Amino acid sequence: MTPFGEALRKLRARKGVTQKQMAAAINVSPAYLSALEHGRRGKPSFDFLQRVAGYFNIIWDEAEELFMVAGASDPRVIVDTSGLAPQYTAFANRLASMIRNLDPEVIEDLEAVLEKARKVN
What are the chain's domains? 3-71 (1.10.260.40), 86-120 (no CATH)
Structure confidence by residue, pLDDT tens digits, 74-106: 777 889 999 999 999 999 999 999 999 999 999
Q: What is the mean pLDDT of residues 105-112?
A: 94
pLDDT tops 80 at residue 45: yes
DSSP state of 101: G
The pLDDT of residue 3 is: 87
- Between the CA of residue 32 and those of 8, 20, 76, 94, what are the distances in Å? 12, 10, 17, 32
In angstroms, the CA 19 to CA 5 distance is 12
Tell me what the pLDDT averaged over the chain comes to.
Answer: 90
End-to-end CA distance of the chain: 30
pLDDT at 73: 82
Q: What is the mean pLDDT of residues 8-34?
A: 93
| Interior angle at CA 101, CA 100 and CA 107, nearest 5 | 80
CB atoms within 10 A of CB 9: 16
Q: Specify the DSSP class assigned to residue 43.
A: P
